[in-house]
Amino acid sequence: MPLCETNVKNDYHIKERPYSAYHSWLRFDLEEIIFLPKNELISTKRCKHIDFIFKWINKVIIIGFNTYYSVEEVQIPLDQIIGIKLTNKNFLEISLRPNFSKHFYHRNVEINGKIVSTLINNDPTGGRMKDTTTLVLIPCRKVHNKTLTFINIGIQKFHLDKFSKTSQKNEISNPIYEQDESNSVNDNDMIHITFQLLTHARALLVPSTISLADLFLKIQYRFMIIIESFEYKNVFGDFITVECEEDWNIAKIDHDVIDKMRIIIRISPR
């Protein structure tokens, strides 16, 4: 399968640079936060009152509420995120695990410039984090699209790396994956696929480590069709086009936690 194409020049350098030792975090100012599904809102009329920080080295995202001499923070580990989407309005939509883990901190800047951080019990959002499934982050107008794109790529990269390591471990410890849907393979290590054709739907059970190329061959051979286009339904309900192995890995990541590897795909046969 071909590599994903991009309109950004030198894409591989751009992807790697923000997450090196010299660029261990990214930050931008927020204008509003929407907490779904309750549709509650926190907003500010001035930038620098609320900020979002993505710390690649620490594997955490932070929402900070700033006053003159202190900051109250909500910290969420990256492994609590099950989906991220950069919308055409430049909003970041972050989908979270049910009952996701989070920590609250209060940071003071002392007279000598030393920063003292203390774990606290009170939610700086006034309880809005409870039962939240999705955070919609609306940046201040001055925030550059590239900053949001880097964060979007970075969180996806974290999950892609994590999934890749898990897949490699499974391939070594479970060589039976090379066989076709054996009854001896643990059901938790399989993907339950429902794929929609123009007139009907079919189901397929495949190993979680299956490549996109092998999946294409399996579908085409079993159902005697030639695939023209291939899309999957993400955690937000949108159908996303799959064009390469990286796209397919992201599709599996999207559903690994929330749907226990049950994926809906849409196929247009040639």
Per DSSP, 23 falls in state -
- CA–CA dist 51, 32 (Å, integer): 10
Residue 183: which region, alpha, beta or left (left: phi > 0; alpha: psi -120 to 50)? Answer: alpha
Least confident of 120-129, 156-165, 223-232: 156-165
Residue 256: which residues within 8 A CB-CB, separation 6 or more?
82, 163
* Range 104-112 average pLDDT: 78
Torsion angle, alpha carbons of 157, 159, 162, 167, to 10: -100
The three-class DSSP label of residue 123 is: coil
The three-class DSSP label of residue 155 is: helix
Q: What CA–CA distances, in Å, run from 254 to 39, 196, 234, 236, 238?
A: 23, 19, 6, 10, 12
Per-residue pLDDT, 9: 32
Least confident of 14-28, 55-69, 99-113, 118-132: 14-28
- CA–CA dist 159, 169 (Å, integer): 15
Q: Is the dihedral of CA 239, 241, 246, 252 positive or negative?
A: positive
Nearest to 224 by CA among 256, 202, 242, 257: 202
Per-residue pLDDT, 165: 54
Per-residue pLDDT, 236: 73
Q: Mean pLDDT score of the chain, rounded to an integer?
A: 76
Domains and CATH numbers, the chain: 11-156 (no CATH), 185-269 (3.10.20.90)
Per DSSP, 3 falls in state P
Share of the chain above pLDDT 70, in %: 71
- CA–CA dist 167, 185 (Å, integer): 14
- CA–CA dist 237, 259 (Å, integer): 13
Q: What CA–CA distances, in Å, run from 18 to 12, 23, 30, 52, 240?
A: 11, 5, 20, 16, 26
Per-residue pLDDT, 48: 81
Cβ pair 141, 130 in contact under 8 A? no
- CA–CA dist 122, 110 (Å, integer): 22
How many other C-beta atoms lie within 10 A of the C-beta of residue 94?
Answer: 22
Task: Between 17 and 152, name the one with better pLDDT.
Answer: 152
Per-residue pLDDT, 159: 66
pTM tops 0.75, yes or no: no
- CA–CA dist 269, 262 (Å, integer): 22
Asked whether the bond before 77 is cis by omega within 30 degrees of 0, the reply is no
